[in-house]
Amino acid sequence: MSTKVIQPELIEKDKKHLWHALYKDSGNSNPVIAASGEGSWFYDIDGNRYFDGVSGLWCLNLGHGRREIADAAAEQMMKLSYSPLTLSHEPAIELAAKISGLLGGGNYKTFFSNSGSEANETAFKIARQYHAQNGKPGKYKFISRYRAYHGSTLGALSATAQANRRFHYDPPAPGFLHVQPPYRYRSPFGDTPESDLKAADMLEQTIIWEGADTVAGVIMEPFISGGGVIIPSDGYLQRVSEICKKYDVLLIMDEVVSGYGRTGKMFGFMHFEGVQPDIVTMAKGLTSGYLPLGATSVKEEIYEKFKGTGPNQSFRHVSTYGGHPASCAVALKNIEIIERENIAARVEHYSGQILSTLHELNNHSNVGEVRGVGFLYGIELVENKETKIPVSEAVITQVIAACRQKGVIIGRNGDTIPGFSNVLIIAPPLSSEEEDLVYLVNTIKDAVQSL
């Protein structure tokens, strides 16, 4: 059958049966149907070639077509197709040990799941049970920050402080609170590093007003990603860490986007000297998107409270496919490549040499601020610099469309804050070639300059 016959049939079948994520169905547009990929590029069924400037959904860190990753999955599937982690298997053991070593700061125990949302759900359950078994059963609340995204399941969505994500799905699960983010560009305290420290002080004030004996944990990304790529000043995360220690509140670091080299270090929190989270959640870059896998890693002293044979003392949580042997084998191979190719250092280098030139757009009248670290950049578009009013839907769509027309896919912080979906998102695969990164940046600059 010819391609011309297959394409209309496939599109019709897509429209009839497939429900797309975050898709506004006008009934008039056709989906981009990906057919194949190579490195940082993919082809649609019409043969059009696109540079993936957002790594799929922030996860395709090593790009398409890594044969050794595919081989690791196939070999494991033939050796041991499945085994639940009510038992054990070698890939999960080796991966848990590897993660502990990568995190530093002593021994970590890891519970595997399937996604970032599940990893955060697991963290919430662990934190509440830990405090209960540590003699503080009243500590059940969690604090996150406005504009932050932590997942789509009920608890993770409750921690997510993005009103559009939660519209029609509220009320949230009880016990979730939100505070000011370290967002200097729109801070009521002014556009200075000190404003971030004041945001941290507001976190402390919230703990005090809620009652420290009711707060179980603080969850945050080291760099807010989907909420607009918000980069805190140095000192902010250190201050948050101090506050958590002061009030016996667990610091949960959501590294789902920022982990495994995305920011130029293995984990985002490592940019902040002296910070060592109590719990670290991860997914996405853990397998570079080749297979689903989430992980929740906790300090050994937290795990100690789950030991024993007392009634309900164990962690009564299970994930059928969490820690699937093939997924763990893929993660191990993925990490091996990240280390062998020195991906984190590579990201740091090309970020400084190429992506950082996006800051030149700060001179444009419609650019409020360019923010970035490693291969994670955001460009906030405004009507003018004085009012900081976000650009219209039409304007940001125009920029994204102009990039796509030149074969470059970039993202935006859509469906987050009402009226503030005005930040372009750039997060290319970490293994992208130098000339492709230059093309990405130049394409974005041209699209913005055309406004």
Q: Which residues contact 124 (CB under 8 A, 6 or more apart)?
A: 142, 155, 159, 216, 217, 219
Identify whether residues 363 and 419 lie together within a single domain.
yes
Q: What is the DSSP string of 84-151?
A: -TTS--HHHHHHHHHHHHHH-SS-EEEEEESSHHHHHHHHHHHHHHHHHHTT-TT--EEEEEBT----
Helix (H) or strand (E) holding 434: helix 434-449
Domain span at residue 89? 68-340
| pTM for the full predicted model | 0.96
Copy the structure tokens of residue 204.
């402390």
For residues 238 and 365, what is the distance between their CA atoms, to the nearest angstrom?
35
| pLDDT at site 290 | 98
**In contact, 266 and 40? CB cutoff 8 Å:** no
Identify whether residues 333 and 362 lie together within a single domain.
no
**In contact, 225 and 58? CB cutoff 8 Å:** yes
Identify whether residues 295 and 359 lie together within a single domain.
no
Q: How far is CA 406 from the centre of its chain?
A: 27
Identify whether residues 89 and 157 lie together within a single domain.
yes
| pLDDT at site 22 | 85
* Average pLDDT, 10 consecutive residues per value, the chain (451 residues): 63 92 81 95 96 98 98 98 98 98 97 98 98 97 98 96 93 96 95 95 98 98 97 97 98 98 98 98 98 98 93 94 98 98 98 98 98 98 96 96 98 93 98 98 98 94
| pLDDT at site 6 | 65
For residues 438 and 234, what is the distance between their CA atoms, to the nearest angstrom?
28
- Write down which residue in 288, 312, 340 finishes a domain: 340
| pLDDT at site 183 | 97
Identify whether residues 21 and 108 lie together within a single domain.
no
Identify whether residues 435 and 388 lie together within a single domain.
yes
| pLDDT at site 55 | 98
Identify whether residues 115 and 230 lie together within a single domain.
yes
